[in-house]
Chain A
C-alpha cells in the first residue's frame, strides 16, 4: 500500500438486510477495494447510534442474528478475505458470551480487533487487557472533540492498532459536513504526533466528507451511509456505493 493512500473502511450490521448476507457483504467490500471492515454485532440498546444503525440492529435481531450465529457465519472467512476485520459491538453481549471465550473465538476466526464503545479505558486496563493480548486482539478506543489532550495521550498509550476519531459530538449518522470545530479538532490531533494512526468516523457519507476527514488522518469509516445504501438499494450494489466515495 502506498504511503499516502487513505484507508476507506466500512461498517455494516451483521444480519442486515438479510440474516445470511454477512459473508457476501464482506467479500464484495473487499473486491470493491475497501481496506478494512467493521462487522457490527447487533445490540438491543445501541446507546451511541442514531436511528439508521438502531433500525438495522433491530432488524438484524429480528432476523435471528446471535453471537453464536455470527461466529458460525465467519468461521471460514479467512479462506476468501484478507483485509483487516474488526468486530464492533456493545459490551453486554460479549460479557454474556464470556470475555475470554469471545476473544478466543475471534482469534480462531482471524478477527484482528474489537471496537466496544461502552467498554471504557479504565475497565479494559483493569480487567481485560491481558485477555485481549493473550489472543492477539487489538482494542480500538474512541476520541471526540471534547477529549482532553491528556486523555488522548492515555488512549494512545493503551492503543495498538489505530484510534477511532469521532468527528463531532453526536451519535452515528446524525451530521454531515464538517465545520470549523472539526477543522480545529483535526488540526489539534494532527499536531499531537500520536503513535497510533487515526481513522475518522461519524458523519462521513460521500467523497467530500471522506476527503476532508482524511486530510490529516490515515483513513475514515463510513457506517450509517452504507446501511442507508443497503436499505434503499440491495446487496448487489456494493461496488457502486464504494466507487462514489473514491
Chain B
C-alpha cells in the first residue's frame, strides 16, 4: 500500500483538485513549483533556520512519567505546544510564506477555526512584512477572542465569515472566494492537510518535521527510531499528517487518530468524520465528508473550534479506508477531562484539540512496554475561557 500522493494528487481514491476554473492558474502554478522550491538548498536553509531560531525547534519529546504510570505504558509527548505562537500550525505557515515569496506573491489570505492558524499566519506575515487577511467564522470570533486580538496586533485584518454555520467551513469558503477575486497577487495559506492538490501534500511535508524529530529523539531516549504507536487528534489533520509522515511505511508503527465526537457520535452534534462521513467533494478535494443523502454539507459540532470541520484531509480518509489508521472519537467530556488530567499529572495545560488525542486512553489499553508518542499539538492558553466555564473554575 502506498501512502504518498500520486502524480494526479490522490491518496488511494481520495484527493485531487476539484476547483473552479478561476482557481486553476494559481493552483497549477503551485503544483508545478512546490516540490522544486522545497528542494532548493537556499529554501531549505531559510526554512530550517527559521524553524530553529524563530519557532524554537526542535520541540522536546517529553517522557510523561506520571501519565505513563497512570496508564501503565510508556507515554512520550511531542511538545508542539512549546512552539512560537503555541501550536504546530507555525511549521506550515513558515514554509508557505517562504513559498509565497518565491512565487512573487505580495498578499496573504488564510482561514482559521480556533485562531491558531490565523495567528501563525499573521505572525509570519508580520515577520515578512506582507499584507494579511484572515477569514474567521463569526461564531469562532466570539469564542476565541484572545486569538482575534493577537491577529489584530500582528497587523492582520480579520474578516468575519457570515454565511452558513459561521465556523471553519464557512471561513474556508470565504477565503476561497477571496482567492477567486484576487488571482494574481495573492497566496492562500491553507492551514490544514485539506484543499486541492498540492495543498494536502505540501502542508504534510512542512509538518513532517514533527515525525522527523520524533525519530532521532526517540533513538536517543529508547534506542530505537520507531515507537509502537503515534497518536494525534484530527480535524482537517495537519498535526496528525506531520506526526505520522515518517512512520506511514513502517508497518510496526501503529497509527492512531482521535476525532471529535462532540456530544456523542450519534447525538447529531459531532465532528467524527470517519464515523459519520461519506465520500464527497469539499473545498477542492474528494474525501470523507459529513453530508446529507442529497450531498449537502452538514454542520459539524465540537467544543474544540479547531476540530469543528465536516471533512478530513484526503490522506487521513485513505488511512481510514485502507485500515492503516486506527480511528477513535472522543466526546467533549472525555477530551475536557483528559486535558485536566494532563494538567494535574504533568503540569501542562493542553489545547482542547490536543486533549482529544490524550483521550485515546479512554478507548484503548496499551501494553506496559509499548512506546506511545502523542502529539501535543497546542497549548491551552487560548482555551482558558472554555476550561473555566466547563469546570466552573
Residues of A within 8 A of B (CB): 43-45, 47-48, 50-51, 54, 58, 61, 66-68, 90-97, 117-123, 141-144, 146-148, 151, 166, 169-171, 174
What are 7 A-B pairs at a CB distance below 8 A?
A48-B180, A93-B295, A96-B294, A96-B295, A97-B295, A118-B18, A142-B21
**Complex Cα distance A141/B289, Å?**
26
Cβ-defined contact, B177 with A118, below 8 A: no
**Complex Cα distance A61/B279, Å?**
21
Closest Cβ of chain A to B61, distance in Å, is 39
**Complex Cα distance A65/B18, Å?**
24
Partner of A45, one of B184, B278, B297: B297
Chain B residues lying within 8 Å of A166, measured Cβ to Cβ, are: 21-22
Task: Place the interface of chain B in its size category.
Answer: 35 or more
Cβ-defined contact, A95 with B280, below 8 A: yes
Partner of A169, one of B8, B17, B182, B295: B182
B173 within 8 A of A: yes
Cβ-defined contact, A118 with B25, below 8 A: no
Mask: chain B, 138-181; 1 = CB below 8 Å from A; 0 = not: 00000000000000000000000001100001000100110011
**Complex Cα distance A92/B21, Å?**
16
Closest Cβ of chain B to A102, distance in Å, is 10
Chain A residues lying within 8 Å of B164, measured Cβ to Cβ, are: 44-45, 58
B227 within 8 A of A: no
Given contacts A118-B18, A171-B181, contact A92 B281 (CB under 8 A): yes
Known pairs A44-B296, A169-B182 / 20 extra A-B pairs, C-beta < 8 Å = A44-B164, A45-B169, A47-B176, A47-B180, A48-B177, A66-B294, A68-B294, A92-B281, A95-B280, A96-B280, A96-B295, A118-B281, A120-B21, A120-B24, A123-B16, A146-B22, A147-B24, A147-B25, A148-B25, A170-B180
Cβ-defined contact, A93 with B294, below 8 A: yes
Which chain A residue shows the least CB distance to B278? A96
**Complex Cα distance A142/B25, Å?**
13
Residues of B within 8 A of A (CB): 8, 16-22, 24-25, 163-164, 169, 173, 176-177, 180-184, 278-284, 289, 291, 293-298
**Complex Cα distance A246/B126, Å?**
51
Q: Quick one: which of B18, B173, B278 has the most chain A CB within 10 A?
A: B18
Closest Cβ of chain A to B257, distance in Å, is 23
**Complex Cα distance A120/B19, Å?**
6
Cβ-defined contact, B183 with A169, below 8 A: yes
Partner of B295, one of A67, A142, A174: A67
**Complex Cα distance A121/B280, Å?**
18
Cβ-defined contact, B17 with A120, below 8 A: yes
Chain B residues lying within 8 Å of A90, measured Cβ to Cβ, are: 281
Cβ-defined contact, B21 with A117, below 8 A: yes
Q: Which are the 4 A-B pairs with shortest beta-carbon distances?
A: A96-B295, A93-B295, A142-B21, A44-B296
Closest Cβ of chain B to A204, distance in Å, is 16
Chain B residues lying within 8 Å of A94, measured Cβ to Cβ, are: 295
Closest Cβ of chain B to A217, distance in Å, is 17
Cβ-defined contact, A48 with B20, below 8 A: yes
Cβ-defined contact, A61 with B296, below 8 A: yes
**Complex Cα distance A122/B181, Å?**
23
**Complex Cα distance A90/B19, Å?**
10
Closest Cβ of chain B to A88, distance in Å, is 12
Chain B residues lying within 8 Å of A97, measured Cβ to Cβ, are: 294-295
Chain B residues lying within 8 Å of A147, measured Cβ to Cβ, are: 21, 24-25
Closest Cβ of chain A to B329, distance in Å, is 23
Closest Cβ of chain B to A81, distance in Å, is 25
Closest Cβ of chain A to B137, distance in Å, is 13
**Complex Cα distance A146/B176, Å?**
16
Chain B residues lying within 8 Å of A170, measured Cβ to Cβ, are: 180-181
**Complex Cα distance A123/B20, Å?**
12
Closest Cβ of chain A to B153, distance in Å, is 30
Chain B residues lying within 8 Å of A141, measured Cβ to Cβ, are: 21
Cβ-defined contact, A47 with B295, below 8 A: no
Cβ-defined contact, A67 with B20, below 8 A: no
Cβ-defined contact, A146 with B295, below 8 A: no
Chain B residues lying within 8 Å of A50, measured Cβ to Cβ, are: 177
Closest Cβ of chain A to B188, distance in Å, is 12
Cβ-defined contact, A45 with B282, below 8 A: yes
Closest Cβ of chain A to B289, distance in Å, is 8
Closest Cβ of chain B to A42, distance in Å, is 8
Given contacts A120-B17, A169-B182, A170-B181, contact A92 B280 (CB under 8 A): yes
Chain B residues lying within 8 Å of A96, measured Cβ to Cβ, are: 278, 280, 291, 293-295
Chain B residues lying within 8 Å of A51, measured Cβ to Cβ, are: 163
Which chain B residue shows the least CB distance to A43? B296
Closest Cβ of chain A to B171, distance in Å, is 12
Q: Quick one: which of A43, A44, A118, A119 has the most chain B CB within 10 A?
A: A44
Chain B residues lying within 8 Å of A117, measured Cβ to Cβ, are: 20-21
